Amino acid sequence: MTDYSMNEKMILVQYAIKKYENEETVIEKLKTILSEKDIQRNINTLIGTQRVRRIGPEILQNNESHTEIPDLPDNLKPIIDQL
């Protein structure tokens, strides 16, 4: 696993949520890149900072009305494309 900064991990999680929305699918897809603990921690942080909201028990959604999703850095684009 590559070492990513905290900010890069959050961006990866946000883009995975944008792509899939189902929490279980997001975790499954990101497991090849981040540890499950990192994924859960970032989801909880994003919910706590209101950048992501929970819609129902399994569905996550970026809270784009509250905050914008950061631009995807070039080094993360291939990772998101492969998810």
Across the range 11-18, mean pLDDT stands at 97
The pLDDT tens digits for 71-81 are 999 999 999 99
d(CA 21, CA 55): 9
Question: Among the listed ranges 19-23, 58-62, 66-70, which one has the minimum average pLDDT value?
Answer: 66-70
pTM: 0.92
pLDDT of residue 48: 96
Any alpha helices (H) in 1-83, and if so which ranges? Answer: 6-20, 23-30, 36-48, 77-82
- Computed over its alpha carbons, how large is the radius of gyration of the chain? 12
Domain covering 6-78, topology: Arc Repressor Mutant, subunit A (1.10.10)
CA distances from 1 to 4, 19, 30 (A): 9, 22, 11
Across the range 9-38, mean pLDDT stands at 96
Domain ranges of the chain: 6-78
Across the range 21-33, mean pLDDT stands at 96
